[in-house]
Amino acid sequence: MKPTASAAAIAAAVGKGEVKARAVVEAALARIAKHNETLGAFTDITAQRALARADAVDLAIAGGGKAPPLAGVPFAAKNLYDIEGVVTRAGSKINRSNRPAGKDATLIQRLEFAGAILVGATNMDEYAYGFTGENAHDGPSRNPHDTERMTGGSSAGSAAATAAGLVPLSLGSDTNGSIRVPASFCGLFGLKPTYGRLSRARTYPFVASFDTLGPLARSTRDLALAYDAMQGFDDDDPAQTKRPMEPTDARLKHPIPGIRIAIAGGYFAGDAEVQAHVAHVTRALDAARVVTIPDAAAARAAAFLITMTEGAALHLERLRTRLDDFDPEVRDRLLAGAMLPAAWTGKAQKLRRDFREKVLALFADVDAILAPVTPMHAPHIGQKLAKLGGVEMALRPHLGVFTQPFSFIGLPVVTVPVWLPGATLPMGVQIIAAPWREDIALRIAHQLEQAGAVSAPVAKAFAI
């Protein structure tokens, strides 16, 4: 079995006893050791723990036990997830002064209960406040499709590790687009679940009222397997909504009769190259209807303001006492966030409720909405400016223009990777569904994948 096999293929082979989980994990660790210096993907490698768990999986299967759905699948987690015995740095220098975590994050526990094996923690933008994947303390993560380019962030190392085939599956977090942007730049499938769907217990927060966690993978099947394994109510996350398990993997292949798919127009049109990627998907789905997302620019602006103020409130004491230990780019935004008039964020919170009502009304007539993920391909590392709509502007604040309006109101989104003919870089398209309908977004993504319209190959330079 190739070390770059999918999670589903690994689990099937390990489950049947055709390959040992230890061999899979050893191969993953060897690839990490070989490529991590180039990619800047991992900040912590949990080799000893991983090998011990692999042996436990092998022992259980040899003993005749039923193989769990992710048996022997190596995975990585963004370094804001607690890992027992590891300091949760959340991309910062400051948090390295904290004690090691005493217990794993709930989602790590759940993946491991399903047989998956954590091999390490991944690089990220400091405190998840960034879309570039350039960490001031640990260095940038590098895009496996072109290592001179950004991975996108903030789930940067998770995307790099998955796109390079170091692991088939990784965990990220998405507050304003931090799963979707790196999935777009690195050519991956990503799932940002509905706000409140998956437990966030024992992960480091950013904007608590937006924060969600989810997986990145190279296939929709792997996304669904991971998502299913992570569902379920957890008393340790006060924001989680109590809902029954709603498994998606078994229904992935089932077409949705009469599905109504629309394209987000107006604000979401983007430049010509962005339009080409969305058009590629709309053609494959035979979708033609265009819907206008009302007040999208204002919604994105409101998300921007709430992010600044909630982020500043979280870090205010550290801004007083450890100012020089912040990444300067993050520091300036947090400082400014602490100074915003409350009337601005008060209005932003009202707009959020109003915008939610307007967008939910659209779902009375459509089942899913398509929109671009990013306004461009992966920029070069260190790039500060970009042309958008023919106007040169600061890059950093604009990478989330298409993702922020949807996470602002907690909608579930699956990102699919599009490779136009002859392209050397991918770009993602969002499939946005109504709250709690991750299943719809996943099934549409799977349909596109089966039709060959979207794909997430291991980056050529790292393929075997």
Partner 1 sequence: MSFKPFDAEALVAAAAEMLQLKIPAAQRDGVRSQLKTAAKMAALVEQVKLADDTEPAPVYRP
Residue whose CB is less far from partner 1, 100 or 397: 397
Q: Nearer Cβ to partner 1, position 79 or 212? A: 212
Is residue 455 helix, strand or coil?
A: coil
- Minimum distance, C-beta of residue 270 to partner 1, in the bound complex (Å): 18
Supply the minimum distance, in Å, between the C-beta of residue 388 and partner 1: 14
Structure tokens at 152: 């996108």
Smallest distance from partner 1 to CB 177, Å: 16
* 141 included as an active-site residue: no
- The four Cα atoms 154, 95, 164, 279 give a dihedral, to 10 degrees, of -10
Residue environment code for 30-48, b if the CB has 16+ CB neighbours within 10 A, otherwise e: ebbeebbeebbbbbbbbee
178 is catalytic: yes
- The residue from 92, 155, 173, 178 that is catalytic is 178
With CA atoms as reference, report the closest residue to 47 among 109, 96, 97, 120: 120
Q: Which is nearer to partner 1, 99 or 242 (CB)?
A: 242
> What's the rounded Cα separation, in Å, for the pair 113 and 133?
30
**Biggest CA pair distance of the chain:** 64
Hey, is 270 helix, strand or coil? coil
- Residue closer to partner 1 (CB basis): 55 or 237: 237
The CA distance from 309 to 337, in Å, is 5
At 245, list the tokens.
Answer: 């398990």
Q: How far is the CB of 207 from partner 1 (least distance, A)?
A: 11
Q: Which residue spans within 127-277 are E strands per DSSP?
A: 134-135, 139-140, 142-143, 146-150, 169-174, 189-192, 212-217, 261-264
Instruction: Based on the residue annotation, tell me whether 407 is a catalytic residue of this protein.
Output: no
Cβ(95)–Cβ(215) below 8 Å: no
CB of 133 to partner 1, least distance (A): 20
Residue of 78, 155, 184, 219 with catalytic role: 78
Cβ nearer to partner 1, comparing 246 with 295: 295
Q: Please, which residue, 42 or 210, has the CB nearer to partner 1?
A: 210
What's the token pair of residue 202? 């024992």
Q: Locate all alpha helices (DSSP H) within 179-218, ordered by sequence.
A: 180-186
Contact residues for partner 1, defined by CB under 8 A: 194-196, 209-210, 239, 241, 295, 297-298, 301-302, 304-305, 308, 316, 319-320, 323, 328-329, 331-333, 335-341, 344, 346-354, 356, 394, 397, 409-411, 435-436
CA dihedral for 415, 107, 89, 408, sign (positive or negative): positive
How far apart (Å, rounded) are the C-alpha atoms in residues 235 and 232?
A: 10
From the candidates 92, 141, 154, 184, give the one annotated as an active-site residue: 154
Of the candidates 457, 441, 447, 352, the one whose C-alpha atom is nearest the C-alpha of residue 405 is 352
At closest approach, how far in Å is the CB of 9 from partner 1?
34
CB-wise, 301 or 425, nearer to partner 1? 301
* CA 392/CA 150 separation, integer angstroms: 19
Q: How far is the CB of 437 from partner 1 (least distance, A)?
A: 10
- Which residue shows structure tokens 């904007």? 207
Residues labelled as active-site residues? 78, 154, 178
